[in-house]
A = this chain, B = another copy of it.
Amino acid sequence: MYAITLVIQCPDKKGIIADVTSFVYQHKGNIQYIDQYVDREKGAFFMRLEAELDEQLCSYQAFTTAFEEGPATVFNMDWSYQPIAYKPKMAVFVSKYDHCLYDLLGRFKSGELGVEIPFILSNHPDLAPIAKAFEIPFYHVAVSKETKAEATQEQLRLLKEHNIDFIVLARYMQIVPPALIDAYTSNIINIHHSFLPAFPGAKPYHSAFERGVKIIGATSHYVTEELDAGPIIEQGVAQVSHNHSVAQLIAKGRDLEKMVLANAVKNHVDKKVMVYGNKTVVFT
């Protein structure tokens, strides 16, 4: 027995669900979970499906090949799949803030995240001791105006060497170079410390304080070339009052950042997030 997750995106047409579910049934599979969404305005169909199959009756290879030649071709699908048991390889990029890193590593050690973490990378050496305490390799790749191109090459080399599937920017305070974005489209998750689209860019807690908002937020999104403008995966908010100084907003925001980033990572790992245009479908 093996379990597989299928994720499908295609133009909406009559009969897709019937066709896909019948396909699974005919291949002796049992659908464990199905989620579906149609964007009627754009005529786009989305589906995520978990199925259990029997290696004896239909191998993983046979199933996926048949699907590609069958429904995927018929409905012109953009699709992907993954064994449910697979643990994606996640690289964590950090700078000097440690709260998101502690949170991710605590969850990782607790067995909450279904990933491997081949390495942590930083443009500063400060957080190396945390990596060491959690027994994860740490690479210090400094980034300056002069060394930027070189640093990008080093990052790409490490990512390739470790077969990284996706990158988490856990308060990484550097612009991600286009070469990385290209190599990891829809696979770089950032946490921005505001309720986007309010307060993009630097120092959002200061801006929130100035504007006198009564609620602050945090936003996880896929990184695109336009800063803080990529597809939003998850957002969280917390109530604040006149009584909160900037420092207290920052402190309160840390918990939001941790939660929102962790939830985005979990949904990404479970292949529950689908990107289309500059938006996401997130099945729950």
Name A residues whose Cβ lies closer than 8 Å to a Cβ of B. Answer: 14-15, 17-19, 21-22, 24-25, 30-34, 36-40, 98-99, 102-103, 105-107, 109-110, 112, 130, 133-134, 195-199, 211-215, 217, 231-237, 241-243, 245, 251, 254-255, 259, 262, 278-282, 284
Q: If the complex has contacts A99-B110, A106-B103, A133-B133, are A232 and B254 also in contact, measured as CB distance less than 8 A? A: no
A109 contacts which chain B residues (CB < 8 A)? 98, 102, 130
Cβ-closest 4 pairs across A and B: A102-B106, A212-B279, A18-B21, A198-B198
A106 contacts which chain B residues (CB < 8 A)? 98-99, 102-103, 106
Complexed CA–CA distance, A101 and B262 (Å): 17
A40 contacts which chain B residues (CB < 8 A)? 245
Copy number in the complex reads 4
A19 contacts which chain B residues (CB < 8 A)? 25
A235 touches B251 (CB 8 A): no
Complexed CA–CA distance, A25 and B102 (Å): 44
A18 touches B14 (CB 8 A): no
CB distance from A216 to the nearest CB of B (A): 10
CB distance from A265 to the nearest CB of B (A): 13
Instruction: Using CB atoms, name the residue of chain B closest to A101.
Output: B106
CB < 8 Å neighbour of A198 from B15, B195, B255, B278: B195
A232 touches B255 (CB 8 A): no
Complexed CA–CA distance, A255 and B106 (Å): 12
12 CB contacts below 8 A, A to B, read A14-B25, A18-B18, A22-B22, A34-B34, A34-B36, A99-B112, A195-B195, A197-B213, A214-B282, A215-B236, A237-B237, A255-B262
Complexed CA–CA distance, A278 and B210 (Å): 9
A30 contacts which chain B residues (CB < 8 A)? 14
* Max chain B C-beta neighbours (<10 A), residue from A98, A133, A214, A237: A214
A212 contacts which chain B residues (CB < 8 A)? 231-232, 278-280
A242 touches B198 (CB 8 A): no
A25 touches B15 (CB 8 A): yes
A281 touches B198 (CB 8 A): no
15 other contacts beyond A40-B245, A102-B110, A109-B130, with CB at 8 A cut-off? A14-B25, A15-B25, A18-B18, A18-B31, A33-B38, A34-B36, A99-B112, A102-B102, A102-B107, A102-B109, A133-B134, A197-B198, A197-B199, A212-B278, A237-B237
A259 contacts which chain B residues (CB < 8 A)? 255, 259
A17 contacts which chain B residues (CB < 8 A)? 17, 21, 31, 34
Instruction: Using CB atoms, name the residue of chain B closest to A194.
Output: B198
CB distance from A185 to the nearest CB of B (A): 17
